[in-house]
Amino acid sequence: MRRSHWLAIFMSGCALAAAETPPPVRWAVQRVSGPGTTAGFPNIEGVEHFELMRVTSQTGTYSHHSHILHDGSRFFTTWSNHRRDEDGPGQRVLFAISTDGRQWSDPAECFPPLGPPERTGEQASLVLTANGLHQVDGTVYAVAGINGLGPRRFGSRPCYGNVARSIALDGSLGGMFMLAGEQPPPLEGFEHDIAPPGDERFVALAAEMVTQRHRPDQCPSWSFRPAGPGHEDYAVGTGSWKSFGHRMLAADGHRVCEPTSYRRPDGVAVRLFRDLNGSRREYAAVFDEATQTWSALQRTNIPDSSSRAVAGRLPDGGVYLVGNQTWAALEGRGDRDPLVLSTSRDGVTFDRAWIIRAGSQAMRHRGLHKGPGFQYPHATVVGDDLWVIYSINKEDVAVSRVPLQAVLSKTATKNEGTGVVR
């Protein structure tokens, strides 16, 4: 047999082996029914829900993209808000603070609008999107992304970068500064005092915040920089995206977005992604510390109703995943109700899941790209509780307290039931 033929067989075998490499995470949850269950999942005893904002026509009827952080003494939250539409012109970012997670300050502007709330013809405006919370030297900072308006909702919109400012314990706000990128253009009636990148007052702080956002197990859900060398785009700004070929594509060609990250108990960083091409499954990759690159993105069997999810570590060393991992997703539907908590002891196999909240009320206000359900969660662990923030129907904002003892006591033994998703 000729050498070229043997080489072809060898290469074919390598390709087959690569194709058969199992995904780095999987979902092995049993569907249940009967008393104490909802929508095929067990309920969590003692879970509580608290309202942060119930929107009105005066407050703006669109709210989404929420984040939560606990600094050791208080909870801080931010979210996007618009008078009617998702990512509409003049979208702003609001915040609220709480000492106990139950009683919240009145929502207030963290980042005021940078442009008019309507667009007529070529009238200019800007969009602000809540993009994370950070703590540096005991001070909490909010981050928002800035982009302009393009001919399509996604794609060719001009991106300017991420703006940040401090939030004090009493709710007072510090000066705004760019983490990277360029200052957005001031628009008539919406002039701003955002410090540019490199401003000596903020340069060291901005560098520390960007470093935090670049860590493999800490990544923002969105990028707001144009692609290219030196920019804080997905290829650079969220941790070696260049290993994916500078494109948000999985190994099978599907487009992915809105990552969330965690470290397994063995220290390996894992990143999960929402699929934009309709598989209703999460994609995943693991980080190689030696090469500082991510593995090829692979489709997992973790169901997802095509929405942002959030993952992190539990007090017992395990991992949580919160999102719309619904049975409807396995049937190809995009329901964002219920909101589900899944857990894994090793960060590889998620074999337990519970209902956090189900049965959202009817939507009260119409708006572009709005839909029903408990959506785009973000979460933090404080003591023995998991605190989850989310939007309801992309209008109201709420927080749920999940008592983890009611959950972790159930994870000591492996789920050996039938009906495991493959």
Reading the chain (422 residues) residue by residue, the pLDDT tens digits are 444 444 443 444 444 444 567 899 999 999 999 999 999 999 999 999 999 999 999 999 999 999 999 999 999 999 999 999 999 999 999 999 999 999 999 999 999 999 998 765 555 789 999 999 999 999 999 999 998 876 544 445 677 889 999 999 999 999 999 988 889 989 989 999 999 999 999 999 999 998 888 788 887 887 665 444 444 433 323 333 444 444 567 888 898 888 999 999 999 999 999 998 999 999 999 988 888 778 888 999 999 999 999 999 999 999 999 999 999 999 989 999 999 999 999 999 999 999 999 999 999 999 999 999 999 999 999 999 999 999 999 999 999 999 999 898 766 544 433 333 33
- With residues binned 3-state (H G I as helix, E B as strand, rest as coil), the percentages for the chain, rounded to 5, are 10, 35, 55
16 within a domain of the structure (yes/no): no
Closest by alpha carbon to 227, among 178, 311, 159?
Answer: 159
7 within a domain of the structure (yes/no): no
Alpha carbons 115 and 121: distance in angstroms, whole number? 15
CATH number of the domain encompassing residue 318: 2.120.10.10
- Residue 206 has φ and ψ, to the nearest 5°, of -60, -40
Asked if 179 and 195 touch (Cβ cutoff 8 Å), the reply is: no
pLDDT of res. 85:
95
Question: Residue 15: which residues within 8 A CB-CB, separation 6 or more?
Answer: none
107 within a domain of the structure (yes/no): yes
Q: Which helix (H) or strand (E) holds 310?
A: strand 310-313
pLDDT of res. 173:
98
Alpha carbons 302 and 26: distance in angstroms, whole number? 6
Alpha carbons 173 and 305: distance in angstroms, whole number? 36
319 within a domain of the structure (yes/no): yes
Bridge-partner residues for 380, per DSSP? 387
Q: Which residue has the tokens 């209902």?
A: 355
Bridge-partner residues for 312, per DSSP? 320
Alpha carbons 115 and 89: distance in angstroms, whole number? 7
Q: Which residue has the tokens 């207030």?
A: 108
Structure tokens at 406: 């009611």
Alpha carbons 149 and 247: distance in angstroms, whole number? 22
15 within a domain of the structure (yes/no): no
Alpha carbons 286 and 211: distance in angstroms, whole number? 19
Alpha carbons 230 and 243: distance in angstroms, whole number? 16
Asked if 79 and 94 touch (Cβ cutoff 8 Å), the reply is: yes
180 within a domain of the structure (yes/no): yes
Question: Residue 79: which residues within 8 A CB-CB, separation 6 or more?
Answer: 53, 63, 64, 65, 66, 67, 93, 94, 95, 130, 389, 391, 397
Query: How many CB atoms lie under 10 A from the CB of residue 344?
Result: 25
Asked if 234 and 245 touch (Cβ cutoff 8 Å), the reply is: no
Range of the domain at 59: 23-408
Q: Which residue has the tokens 């029903």?
A: 372
Q: What's the domain count of the chain?
A: 1
10 within a domain of the structure (yes/no): no
Closest by alpha carbon to 90, among 226, 189, 198, 238?
Answer: 189
Asked if 396 and 63 touch (Cβ cutoff 8 Å), the reply is: yes
Q: Which residue has the tokens 């979210």?
A: 79
Alpha carbons 284 and 370: distance in angstroms, whole number? 27
8 within a domain of the structure (yes/no): no
3-state secondary structure of 280: coil
